[in-house]
Each structure stands twice: as C-alpha cells, then as structure tokens.
Amino acid sequence: MSTVAFIGLGNMGGPMAANLIKAGFTVKVFDLVSAAMQALAEQGALTATSACGAAAGADIVVTMLPAGKHVRSLYVTDATSTDDTNKGLIDVVAPGTLLIDCSTIDADSARFVAEHAANKGLEFIDAPVSGGTAGAAAGTLTFICGGSDKAFEQAQGALNAMGANIFHAGGPGAGQVAKICNNMLLSVLMVATSESLQMGVDHGLDPKVLSDIMKVSSGGNWTLDKYNPCPGVMESVPSSNDYQGGFMVDLMVKDLGLSQEAALLSNSSTPMGALARSLYVNHAKQGNGKRDFSSIFEQFAQSKQIKK
C-alpha cells in the first residue's frame, strides 16, 4: 500500500487522515498543533517534524490548509529566499509523487501550484471537499477535482478511502470554482432555511414539525435534511451543541469572499451570494466567527427579540 503524507490535521484533515489509516495506507502526518499529530499517532500514523519531512519519500501528498497563501508557500519555494532549508514541497518530493490539495482556495492559487508542479514533472490536483466534519469522519466526503485525467486516475485509491463521491470538474482550478459555487449556494440555503423556520416559530409552529413538512415539500434542501439550524430539531448537528464544531462562520466568510472575487472575474451576477456574504460578515463581527455557520439562525431569532 502507498505511503501518504498528510499535512493539515484540523477538523476536516484529522478524520480524513484517520480514514486513510483505516484503509491500510501508511500515513505520515504533520501539523503545527502537536496534539493533532499525537491523536493520529495513537491511531497508527507516523509523525514528522516538518511538512517537508512528511512529504519526503511519500507516494502521495495530501494537504488541507486554510487559504491560498498557505498552499502557495507550502508547495512552491519562494524565489527570493536564500534559506535552502525552507523549500517548497515541489522541490522536496520524489519524482512521480502525486500532489493533492483538499483546501478550499482561489482557483488562481491552485493553477499557480499546478503550473509549478508540471514544470517539475509532477501531477497536482485541486480536490476541495464537501460534506462537513460528519462526512470527513464517516468517509463519505464529496471530492471536487481539478487537474489532468492522469492525476485524477492516480488519486482514485486515496480519495475513495476518504469519500463516497468523486467528481472531475475539469483542468487545474476547476475543482475550486465548482466548490465555491457549491458553498455560495449552501450559504443562501442556510440563510433562507433559518429565516423560514424562525418565521414559523414566530407564528407558534413547532420547528421540528415545520422542518418535516418542508423536507418533503418544494422547499426541501440539504440544510433541512442533514444540518438543521434550529436548536433541538435534529440530534448530532452543531445547532444542538451551541453551534460548536462543524464549519466555522469565518470559513464561510472566506469562501463567500472567494465566490464574489470569482464573480467579478467572470462578470457574473450573484446578488444572493453577495447578500449572504454581507450577512455572514456581520454575524462574524458579532463574535460568532468560530461558531458553526448554521448559527446564522440566531440573527433572525435575535431580530424578533429586539422587536419585542
């Protein structure tokens, strides 16, 4: 079985690496948080003292990082740097190593890394994920890939160990474009679901009954089926745990920023996406940045309380 270097062991990366271990891969991990590495070590992972140390000798490198600037700096050596010990992964990995970045970043950063990898004869795919922390733990993530046909085929074994749905959206950067389109839609659905449920509550309806009605009616959507934002309606989702865990508001703000940047580049009209970004930015400014994005529900509950 192949050796996989996994770099970035946050709420998503940690469970993804654990599923690679369960599938029989030799997994070598690195994260700036030592406790995250220790948790994987207890499940059978090898640990490294640096990202380059993890990647050296690996057959596959998987990364899960916060933003495009982190992906660029990790993979590509800074041309102005005189420090030979601070090389990008592209200059460290062995020939034939497959590079998979699962971060959600701007498409230009993905294309930048793909170009540098190609110059070294390496295959790189951007493979952002959808499915949340529950999907990461269960190994049911959706991978949305951008890259060559060859890279996509080579990635199947590792991606199948972590996900249930794997799509090839197109060339380098295409995975990122598809992902931010998806997350923009998700944000709009979450806002609309939240305001609809709260309006029902304002009129005395039971939010669980209303949710059950809407799930099988024309308003049915993923947030009602899998991620209800109203506390107490659905077990094992962030709304029933004071909106802890899951996908942070700060990350949704980041993704919505990416969607609006992409809209400007293509001259696309995205009024709902722009409004959703404004609502989430305001929500983050109120101290909710580290809470789950379904906590936007509280904005509508609070507005009712203010009217009283």
Asked if pLDDT for residue 228 goes beyond 90, the answer is yes
Q: How many angstroms separate the first and last alpha carbons of the chain?
A: 63
Give the pLDDT band of residue 300 (cuts 50, 70, 90).
Answer: very high
Taking alpha carbons only, the member of 23, 56, 24, 20 closest to residue 40 is: 20
Q: What is the mean pLDDT of residues 41-55?
A: 97
Domain ranges (residues) in the chain: 3-170, 178-307
pTM as predicted: 0.90
Give the pLDDT band of residue 232 (cuts 50, 70, 90).
Answer: very high
Side chain identity, residue 98? L
pLDDT of residue 246: 85
Q: What is the mean pLDDT of residues 73-78?
A: 93
Task: Specify which residues 124 forms β-bridges with.
Answer: 99
What gap in Å lies between CA 178 and CA 265, rounded to an integer?
Answer: 15
Asked if pLDDT for residue 306 goes beyond 50, the answer is no
What residues are annotated to the active site? 179
Q: Tell me the pLDDT tens digit for each residue of 83-92.
A: 666 789 999 9
Q: What is the dihedral of CA 129, 133, 136, 137, to 10 degrees?
A: 180
pLDDT of residue 308: 40
Asked if pLDDT for residue 191 goes beyond 80, the answer is yes
DSSP 36: H
pLDDT of residue 17: 98
At the topology level, CATH places domain 178-307 in N-(1-d-carboxylethyl)-l-norvaline Dehydrogenase; domain 2 (1.10.1040)
**CATH 3.20.20.70 for domain 3-170:** no
Asked if pLDDT for residue 290 goes beyond 50, the answer is yes
Give the rounded distance of the alpha carbon of 224 from its chain centre: 20
Structure tokens that stand for 98 in this block: 């497959």
Same fold, 3-170 and 178-307: no
Q: What is the mean pLDDT of residues 47-53?
A: 96
Q: What is the mean pLDDT of residues 15-38?
A: 97
